[in-house]
Amino acid sequence: MASEGTLSRDISTSLRCKQCDGTVRGLRALSCHHILCKICRRALKVRECPICQEAITNKLRRYDADHDSFKPIEALDMITTGVKFEFFCASNALIGRKILNPSQIVKACNSYKRDEQEYEGYLWRFKGDKKKISTPNSRSSKGIPIEQVSLESGEIIEAFTSLQKAVEKTGVSRTTIKRVLDGKGEANGGGFFWRLKGNNNGPSAYPAPTMKDPVASIPCVQISKVKNREVIHQFRTPRDAQDYINGNENFKKHYSWSQICQWCREEDYKLGFYWKYERSGEDTNPVDAIIGTRIRVFQGGNEWIQGFLDSYDSETGRHKIKYDCGKCEEHKLEDIQYDLEIDQGRDVALPVEQVDVKTGKILASFNSALEAAFAAGEESESYILAVCEGQKRSCHGYFWRFKGSSTKQTKLEVQQLCFETGEVIATFETILAASRAVGVSSQGISNCCDGSNRSKSAGGFGWRFAIDEEEVVMVD
């Protein structure tokens, strides 16, 4: 390998001024990447480079090993892409007696396209740069000679000096010819076989084309509310899942099937569900099985904070908990006081019905509250279950009940209790009426009534839904 000199650790002792050929002291680079000595810089009467006559557009740059002006560069052979010359920097580049333009060299070094990496018969890159330099056999070069071959006889029909010439004369698309040259997809393009000039391979060297739909061959798509637990809905292909989502008015944004494939590959949590491909005989890690489960964590006093288990770190043994308020914490579950939603014994698997709040007509039936939540666009089935259990009046603008139940939509009265004695102070027709009368937030009263607030206290009072004494059955 030829070289213009041996690279030195002290670059300042190896560079010479391009103007006077003197040793550079106090390195300074112009905007055109030429490096001049102090004497020549002071002699500048106009703001332009005395060598290339380019205007100086910024201040002179001090020596910086990471700046393009001072990086070592390599000139590569156009055919083999082997290193032919090494230079201390672009300003020092010299091949034969020709002084090269460092601006063009730096531009070539920073380019990712082969055509733009070429300058004065060489390819250029910064020394140590791991950027791939394409060879003449690579599909990225426009000047590669190629041959058009008959599929029946294997004889050469015509030779072209470049891929572009073949496209212009035959009318076959550039992408189609490229795929044949690279051995991808079909073994022919436009009714012909294509190969690089000088190669002897034929159509049989590549696999026969297939007519399989790539999406149809993907496993079934499954979704669940809790990671690695009960599957509430299954789609035959990602396109079926795409059609279902985009056709559901509750999901305002449209998604492509490729996005759904990405969710399944990463088993991501999107639209309130965990997505994955169907797998046969997979083993569920008991630690991972509760990932995604809703959790309530005791904070001291009478305060509980709600969220869900986001992930588990096997090295530390800690679960990452994301709270609804936006805060995140990491805990070992054995070190905290908590409740998991899956431990609450709610009837998540019972069929439920969606009822019109005005007419009382059944609009739809679902196999479970989880499936109903998915159809309604809810991120949790807990609100639908709360309506079914009589703790709430409606969810998403509808009344919900367990299938076969005679429960009718009613207005649940709310009782205000003395927090110390438990005696009923007042009864209100609705939570909103209680909020307006007492001056306590309706959300605080609602949390006490549905059990979200374990202290059952809001505004210094206890709150509960009114229940007729005849409906209460004590079980020993």
Q: What is the pLDDT of residue 87?
A: 86
260 belongs to a structural domain:
yes
Q: Are residues 117 and 195 in the same domain?
A: no
Least confident range of 22-26, 91-95, 270-274, 461-465: 22-26
pLDDT class of 317 with cuts at 50, 70, 90? confident
pLDDT bracket for residue 188 (50, 70, 90)? low
214 has pLDDT over 70 = no
Do 59 and 91 lie in one domain? The reply is: yes
Higher-confidence residue of 193 and 135: namely: 193
What's the pLDDT score for residue 469? 36
pLDDT of residue 269: 79
Separation between Cα atoms, residue 378 and residue 251, nearest integer Å:
10
H/E/C letters for each residue in 135-171? CCCCCCCCCCCEEEECCCCCCEEEEECCHHHHHHHHC
385 lies in some domain: yes
Q: What's the average model confidence in pLDDT over 453-459?
A: 68
In this predicted structure, the answer to whether residue 245 has a pLDDT above a threshold of 60 is yes
Q: Pick from 70, 116, 74, 117: which is nearest to 95 by CA?
A: 74
- And the tokens for 116? 């733009």
For residues 41 and 113, membership in a common domain is answered with yes
Total count of domains within the chain = 6
* pLDDT tops 80 at residue 57: no
In one-letter notation, the amino acid at residue 92 is N
pLDDT at 128: 84
Rounded to whole angstroms, the Cα distance separating 106 from 144 reads 25
Note the pLDDT of residue 260: 82
Q: pTM for this one? A: 0.30
Regarding whether 38 and 88 lie in a shared domain, the answer is yes
Does the pLDDT at position 282 exceed 50? Answer: no
pLDDT tens figures, 347-392: 555 788 888 866 778 888 887 777 787 777 665 677 787 778 766 7
Residue numbers of the domain that contains 235:
221-277
> Which stretch, 120-124, 222-226, 278-282, 293-297, has highest mean pLDDT?
120-124
> Is residue 24, in this structure, part of any structural domain at all?
yes
pLDDT band for 209, please (50, 70, 90 cuts).
very low
Is 438 domain-assigned? yes
Q: Please check whether residues 50 and 122 belong to one and the same domain.
A: yes
Q: Is residue 184's pLDDT more than 80?
A: no
Q: Is the pLDDT of residue 264 over 60?
A: yes
pLDDT at 457: 77
Give the pLDDT confidence score for residue 322 in this predicted structure.
84
Q: Which residue has the higher pLDDT, 77 or 370?
A: 77
Alpha-carbon gap, residue 365 to 401, rounded angstroms: 10
pLDDT at 8 over 50: no
For residues 19 and 121, membership in a common domain is answered with yes
- Residues 103 and 60 reside in one and the same domain: yes
Beta strand 231-235 with 221-224 is antiparallel
- Same domain? For 195 and 243 the reply is no
Closest by Cα among 426, 412, 413 to 462? 426
d(CA 450, CA 460): 17
Asked if residue 282 belongs to a domain, the reply is no
In a domain, 141, yes or no: no
180 φ/ψ angles, rounded to the nearest 5 degrees: -70, -45
Same structural domain for residues 17 and 91? yes
Compute the average pLDDT of residues 202-216: 48
Q: Check whether 21 has a pLDDT greater than 70.
A: no
- Asked whether residue 249 is domain-assigned, the answer is yes
Q: Are residues 51 and 103 in the same domain?
A: yes
> What is the reported pLDDT for 314?
72
Q: Is residue 135 in some structural domain?
A: no
Given pLDDT bands bounded at 50, 70 and 90, which one contains residue 253?
confident
Task: Please determine, for residue 93, whether its predicted confidence score (pLDDT) is greater than 80.
Answer: yes
**229 with 197, same domain?**
no
Domain identity same for 272 and 299: no
